[in-house]
Amino acid sequence: MFVDRAKITIKSGKGGNGAVTFRREAFVPEGGPDGGDGGKGGDVIFQADENLRTLMDFRYKRKYEAESGQDGMKKKRYGKNGEDLVIKVPVGTLVIDEESGKVMRDLTEHGQSFVAAKGGRGGKGNMKFATPTRQAPNFAEAGGFAKERNVILEMKLIADVGLVGFPNVGKSSLLSMATSAKPKIANYHFTTIEPNLGVVSIYDSSFVMADIAGIIEGANEGAGLGHYFLKHIERTKVLIHIVDVSGSEGRDPKEDFDKINSELVQYSEKLLKKPQIVVANKIDILGCSADPEDLEICEEYIEFRKYVEEKGFKVMPMSAAAGIGVQQVIEEAYKALLEVEANPPEDDEEYEYFDFEADDYDPDYRKVFAEYDGEAYVIYGSQLEKIFNSTNFNDLGSRRYLFRYIENSGIYDTLKEMGMEEGDTIKLFDMEFEYYDEDYSYYED
């Protein structure tokens, strides 16, 4: 099964907490602090791997989590950093942040990688808080938070040459004749339901050819499997547009040609800027061969060729099933490919990229917020949570720092404006206490 889209949840590792320990040494208050720092949490990294072809693995595993940092230890020993989690995806995968809808990175080369979620910073041990006036700190810093987000993985095939055209016009037949690919071939009146790729060997070189199936009238609006496959054409360098010149399906070849190009341009105008070789397939049904003299008396072919050439496209005759003209088409595609590679177009893929710098900066990090949940007044905030997690409630100095931070934030005035009165319950994460309007100088140094 070909899977080219998946949604997963990623979570970086939490930073390890700093340690609160003391060495045993004479004449040093409480033995002297020697708690080490916690280790950094592991990052979540996406890496492109050319050995992968689909996003199949992500259908069965949806959550990926990096290792958390180890807590600090006594004797000034630092905790071990958490292992980074490397998630390998096929080359050509877009990694998109689901919440913002912005592209985090477009992985187009083997080995290309980026950090999608940074691990939390390790917390400082109590030895880092020792000062001349506070020689035995009985508290340490909590580790930094892990970062969790949902991401969408969207794969776009990276092929040199793409085959386009209506169903049953001979795309799969050409692919099977030109490469070692083995697509299912029959007189279907419906389209291939997944793209096929093959490697074409020519002279001392090779290139990748893809059968971009699924294009029918209305595909640009999502009809059939329209968007599912049209996106794969965006990365191809050359297009081979195959048309059933015999009209064996009861359609007009000229209308087929116009309809496919209309779908391409309505999906993205840049698709018609790509070199396009138009192939008039099934000439054998018309009783024609690839011989130039024979073709000149093949009225249906001549009429189609004239119509297409007037629009600025080159037309080549072929019968993929009979092996007529296949080599000539491949050579023409290779020639066009060399020209594109010698004069590559400007990269015009327009994405709105995710701002990692803004993501790392939280303007509300130091703010304290309040709300009433029907039973208690809840106060919360990012820095407040970190200070709360770092607080040693058995230590007066550590408790005093926490409550002084809350008071200095001005949140008590906000709570009073919300209607808080004496005796009401205040909820601080997993701790609850009653409010009394007293003098808080107790918490001052």
Most confidently modeled of 27-41, 179-193, 220-234? 27-41
Q: In the prediction, which pLDDT does 445 show? A: 39
Q: Taking residues 234-263, what's their average pLDDT? A: 89
Higher-confidence residue of 234 and 413: namely 413
Nearby residues of 386 by Cβ (< 8 Å), 6 or more positions away: 141, 142, 144, 145
pLDDT at 56 over 60: yes
pLDDT at 224 over 80: no
pLDDT tens profile 79-137: 999 999 999 999 889 999 999 999 999 998 999 999 999 999 999 999 998 888 888 88
Closest CA to 79 of 119, 46, 118, 116: 119
Residue reference for tokens 């709105």: 352
Q: In the prediction, which pLDDT does 188 show? A: 45
Residue reference for tokens 């970086």: 12
pTM: 0.74
Distance from CA of residue 320 to its chain's centroid?
38
Most confidently modeled of 66-70, 100-104, 285-289, 431-435? 66-70
Nearby residues of 63 by Cβ (< 8 Å), 6 or more positions away: 8, 9, 10, 11
